[in-house]
Copies of this chain bind each other. A is one copy, B any other.
Amino acid sequence: MNGGNDRLAGLRSRLRGIGYGGDYNPEQWGTDVHVEDMKLMREAGVDLVTLGIFGWARSEPAPGAYDFTWLDPHMDRLAEAGVAVSLATMTASPPPWLSRLHPEILPVMEDGTRLHPGSRQHWCPSSPVFRGQAVRLVTELADRYGHHPALALWHIGNEYGCHLSRHCHCGVSTEAFRTWLRARYGTIDALNDAWSTDFWSQRYASFDEIRTPRTAPSFRNPTQQLDYADFSSDELLACYQAEREILGRMTPEVPVTTNFVPVAKALDLFKWAGSMDIVSYDSYPDPHDPDSFHRTAFSYDVMRGLKDGRPWLLLEQAPSAVNWRAVNGRKPPGRMRLDTWQAVAHGADAALFFQWRQSRGGAEKYHSAMVPHGGRDTRIFREVAELGAELGAADDLLGSVPLRADAALLLDWRSWWALELDAHPSAKVTMLDAALAHHRPLYEASVACDVVSVGSDFTAYKLLLIPNLYAVSEETAARIRRYVDGGGTVLMSYFSGITDEHDRVHLGGYPAPFRTLLGLTVEEFAPRADGRWEEIIRVEGAEVVRRLGSGGGPAVTRHAYGRGTAWYVGTDLPAPDMRSLMDRVRAETGVRPTLPNLAPGTQARTRVTADGTRIHVVLPLSPEGVDAETGGVEILRTEG
């Protein structure tokens, strides 16, 4: 786990500026194309490619019959061309023979449907057969390419948790779930207590009686669901770690990553990040949805937060349209530049695309690529080449790091999973919406916001946003109280502090662990017919800052606690009200933009070089009407 910084530096040493390139899948093409690829990569300024993602079927065409002769020339040619390779372990998509020999690796859904091959990721995360085959392949790869001059990074698997197979309910998974629960709870009595099994007569006599949460006549036990989400994340992580263990042993100097998808609820990313040398991310904002620009900014802040502010890699984006939405809009001229600089502004050290050359066939042939079906003489390739030149020239970005923010937003996966379980006061309370509602007023004020976990050191921040921290352990609650007591400011929102880590209500008035902190009691949840959340709040020391309509009950409160301040928002405030509230909170805490006097509608994110120079990336707040030439992007440099 150590050495992440060193390993990132190692990767940086292979790049010209911000890393630039894409997924390179040469197995889909013939030699003529391969030759042209090298020429066009040079033209486009490519210095980093992801190679071999879908290479398993080529590399092991029959069980154990490894054959990398198809791959060797590409590695050599890329090395020669000075293009660093992020080499995939190829394990995301097994060849047809594997599920034919071992149909038991095919995942089973909660209703009993077995998923079949024909797309990808058709493997049970707990399958020892699959893991064994993967480990053997990775060993072969590390043996053959571990010291190849092209190799700069290992890319394990691909987009873990992206498809339906993120969960499995087969017999093997059921047994693995029991093992996971034994490790977590020790005794069946401890599990019965945590799961509240006296309700609905669910008390277990032994771990062997437990099953994964399959389709049932009515609502399933919430803690069973919650632990199953946690287990599922851990099983995928174990697949990752099994490969990482091989690579760490055989090629200790080569950094390891895998690419996360936006923003994967299925994976506890803070837990995963601990096993990664560098965090990587795939970003696919919908060009038809202007709000997705802000959502993307938030997701980049999450990526940066996974390693406590360190830079990360954008391993996939699309130069224009994708193929998997119902209607796939293209990115107009300038938008690709804007999107790329947005990533760099938020901490990306590389900007890669899926994929280098647009496929002629298969499920993603309408996913745009750096080299379109139309070839070199296209708008897209021209913009790709211009952007490559620009990023390659920005060599002072290489080695710079994002400036630490004054504000942070607390995100916790287990609480997220618990928040979105069924049988709640309102199904319309969802984690990402709440997080974005809190993040947006900072974003619109050009104020950076870090994302932290419950285990982070909050004291580095002037302001801590806590949207819907629904399930919280007493220990975490105490850490938050101590932070405020020591002088910090929190802005906490509704339906926080309601249950513990096992989704059992903290008794004694909502939100019991935060009542003294906030100076109030929530008497009742009162979601309205239109879904808007409201609460009946009884203040016990807090000042009422805002009410639910004129004459209504408290909606926003402020409470001095120790040397700090605790704000509480008891309803999902309309965006303008959230903005003015945040303005006041920022004024009190001194949370300000890193670059003052910006033009309206713009924002800046700031990186710092080793010599203290500040590099400000100025961007529009929204991509609507993007400037075709510049993407609305401007780079400023100031002394530190």
Query: Using a CB–CB distance below 8 Å, which chain A residues touch chain B?
Result: 25, 27-28, 54-58, 61-62, 90, 92-97, 100, 107, 111-122, 162-165, 195-205, 208-211, 213-224, 288-289, 320-321, 323-324, 326-330, 358-366, 372-375, 378-380, 422-428, 502-505, 507-510, 521, 523-529, 531, 536
**Of B92, B199, B203, B217, which one neighbours A163 at CB under 8 angstroms?**
B217
* Chain B residues, Cβ within 8 Å of A62: 205
Given A201-B120, A203-B58, check contact A223 B164 (CB 8 Å): no
Q: Kindly state the separation between the CA atoms of A429 and B620 in the bound complex, as whole angstroms.
A: 34
- The residue on B at minimum CB distance from A211 is B116
* Chain B residues, Cβ within 8 Å of A365: 196, 199, 222, 504-505
A383 to chain B, nearest CB (A): 12
Which of A162, A221, A502, A524 has most B Cβ within 10 Å?
Answer: A524
Q: Kindly state the separation between the CA atoms of A220 and B116 in the bound complex, as whole angstroms.
A: 10
* Chain B residues, Cβ within 8 Å of A502: 361
Given A28-B196, A202-B118, check contact A425 B527 (CB 8 Å): no
Q: Is the CB of A363 within 8 A of B221?
A: yes
Given A61-B205, A327-B427, check contact A363 B118 (CB 8 Å): no
Given A61-B203, A199-B362, check contact A121 B217 (CB 8 Å): yes
Q: Kindly state the separation between the CA atoms of A260 and B578 in the bound complex, as whole angstroms.
A: 46
- The residue on B at minimum CB distance from A120 is B200
This chain's copy number in the assembly: 3
Q: Is the CB of A164 within 8 A of B363?
A: no
* Chain B residues, Cβ within 8 Å of A28: 196, 198-199
Binding site secondary structure of chain A = loop
Q: Is the CB of B223 within 8 A of A113?
A: no
Would you mind naming 24 contact pairs between A and B with Cβ atoms under 8 Å apart?
A57-B201, A57-B202, A115-B216, A115-B217, A116-B214, A116-B215, A118-B214, A164-B216, A196-B362, A196-B365, A197-B362, A199-B359, A199-B364, A200-B362, A202-B362, A219-B364, A327-B531, A328-B426, A329-B529, A360-B507, A361-B504, A374-B523, A375-B509, A378-B523
Q: Kindly state the separation between the CA atoms of A162 and B218 in the bound complex, as whole angstroms.
A: 9
**Of B96, B121, B360, which one neighbours A209 at CB under 8 angstroms?**
B96
Q: Kindly state the separation between the CA atoms of A196 and B57 in the bound complex, as whole angstroms.
A: 13
Q: Is the CB of B217 within 8 A of A107?
A: yes
Q: Is the CB of B505 within 8 A of A360?
A: yes
A111 to chain B, nearest CB (A): 5
Given A118-B216, A218-B121, check contact A427 B326 (CB 8 Å): yes
Q: Is the CB of A375 within 8 A of B508?
A: yes
Q: Is the CB of B323 within 8 A of A220?
A: no
- The residue on B at minimum CB distance from A96 is B209
